[in-house]
Structure 1
Amino acid sequence: MVTETLPIPLTVPRREVLAWAMYDFANSGYTTVVLTAVFNAYFVGVVAANGADRSGTATLLWTVAMAITNFLVLVSAPVLGAIADHGAHKKRFLAFTTFGCVLFTAALAFVGRGDVALGMTLVILATLMFASGENFIAAFLPEIASQKEMGRISGYGWSLGYVGGLLVLGLCLAYIQSAQARGDVAEQYVPVTLWITAAMFALAALPTFIWLRERAVPHRLAPGENYFRIGFARVRHTLAHARHYRDLFRFLVTLAVYYCGINTVVVLAVIYAQEAMGFTMQENIILIMVVNVTAAVGALTFGLVQDRLGSVRTLAVTLVVWVVALVLAYFIESRAGFWVVANLVGLALGSSQSAGRALVGQFSPPERAAEFFGLWGLAGKLAAVIGPLVYGLVTFLTHGNHRQALLSTCAFFIAGLLLLLTVNERRGRAAAMHPD
Structure 2
Amino acid sequence: MPSPNERPPRTAWAGRGEILAWAFYDFANSGYTTVVITAVFNAYFVGAVAGGGPGAWLLWTVALSLSHAVVLLIGPWVGQTADETGRLKPWLGASTALCIAGTAALGLVGPGELALGMALILVSNTAFGLGENLIAAFLPRLVPPERLGRTSAFGWTIGYIGGLLTLLVCLAYVRWSQAQGGDAADFIPVTMLIVAGLFALTALPTFLWVRERPGPLARGGYRTNPWRRTLQAWRDARQLPDLARFLVCLAIFYCGIQTVVALAAIYAEQVMGFSKDQTITLILVVNLAAAAGAWLLGRVHDRIGAVRTVAVTLVGWLVAILLAYFARGEGMFWVAAFLVGACMGSSQSSGRALVAMLSPAGHEGAFFGLWGVAVKVAAIVGPLSYGLLSYFSAGNYRGALLATAGFFVVGLVLLVGVDERRGRERRMRFTPGLDGPA
Name the TM-score class by shorter chain.
over 0.9
Residue 330 of structure 1 pairs with residue 325 of structure 2: yes
Deviation at 1:431, TM superposition (A): 1.8
CA distance in 2 between partners of 1:5 and 1:397 (Å): 52
- Which residue in the other structure is 2:310 paired with? 315
- Which residue in the other structure is 2:294 paired with? 299
- Which residue in the other structure is 1:356 paired with? 351
Could you tell me which runs of 5 or more consecutive residues in structure 2 were left unpaired when the two chains were aligned: 432-438
Please point out which of 124, 128, 131 is paired with 1:130: 128
- Which residue in the other structure is 1:177 paired with? 175
- Which residue in the other structure is 1:33 paired with? 35
CA distance in 1 between partners of 2:252 and 2:81 (Å): 27
Alignment of 1:21-420 (within 5 A): 21-49=23-51, 53-54=52-53, 56-216=54-214, 219=218, 229-420=224-415
Question: Which residue identity lines up with residue 27 of structure 1 in the other structure?
Answer: N
TM-score calculated relative to the size of structure 1: 0.95
* Distance change >3 Å, CA 231–CA 432, structure 1 → 2: farther
Superposition CA RMSD, Å: 1.8
* Distance change >3 Å, CA 5–CA 362, structure 1 → 2: closer
Question: Which residue identity lines up with residue 307 of structure 1 in the other structure?
Answer: D
CA distance in 1 between partners of 2:194 and 2:6 (Å): 38
TM-score calculated relative to the size of structure 2: 0.94
Deviation at 1:26, TM superposition (A): 0.4
Residue 13 of structure 1 pairs with residue 34 of structure 2: no
- Of the structure 1 ranges 240-249 and 57-66, higher mean CA displacement relative to structure 2 is found in 240-249
Alignment partner of 2:82: what SS?
helix
* Distance change >3 Å, CA 220–CA 421, structure 1 → 2: closer
Could you tell me which runs of 5 or more consecutive residues in structure 1 were left unpaired when the two chains were aligned: none
CA distance in 2 between partners of 1:36 and 1:177 (Å): 18
Question: Which residue identity lines up with residue 328 of structure 1 in the other structure?
Answer: L
Q: Is the 8 A contact 1:8 1:145 kept in 2?
A: no
**1:2-40 CA deviation, whole Å, 9 max, x = no partner?**
x99982534521110001100000000000000000000
CA distance in 2 between partners of 1:422 and 1:219 (Å): 33
Q: Is the 8 A contact 2:5 2:361 kept in 1?
A: no
CA distance in 1 between partners of 2:155 and 2:339 (Å): 20
Alignment partner of 1:139: what SS?
helix
**1:382-416 CA deviation, whole Å, 9 max, x = no partner?**
01000000000111011112111111110000110
CA distance in 1 between partners of 2:17 and 2:380 (Å): 36
CA distance in 2 between partners of 1:394 and 1:6 (Å): 46
Q: Is the 8 A contact 1:6 1:216 kept in 2?
A: no
Q: Is the 8 A contact 1:4 1:216 kept in 2?
A: no
* Distance change >3 Å, CA 85–CA 308, structure 1 → 2: same
Alignment partner of 1:71: what SS?
helix
CA distance in 2 between partners of 1:253 and 1:188 (Å): 43
Q: Is the 8 A contact 1:391 1:406 kept in 2?
A: yes
CA distance in 2 between partners of 1:300 and 1:24 (Å): 14
Aligned length: 427
CA distance in 1 between partners of 2:9 and 2:204 (Å): 23
CA distance in 2 between partners of 1:343 and 1:247 (Å): 32
Q: Is the 8 A contact 1:82 1:232 kept in 2?
A: no
CA distance in 1 between partners of 2:225 and 2:358 (Å): 22
**1:266-303 CA deviation, whole Å, 9 max, x = no partner?**
00011100110011222111110111011000001111
CA distance in 2 between partners of 1:420 and 1:220 (Å): 35
Q: Is the 8 A contact 2:10 2:144 kept in 1?
A: no
CA distance in 1 between partners of 2:414 and 2:256 (Å): 14
Q: Is the 8 A contact 1:83 1:230 kept in 2?
A: no
Q: Is the 8 A contact 2:269 2:279 kept in 1?
A: yes
Q: Is the 8 A contact 2:28 2:203 kept in 1?
A: yes
CA distance in 2 between partners of 1:129 and 1:236 (Å): 22
CA distance in 2 between partners of 1:66 and 1:432 (Å): 34
Q: Is the 8 A contact 1:142 1:365 kept in 2?
A: no
Question: Which residue identity lines up with residue 10 of structure 2 in the other structure?
Answer: P
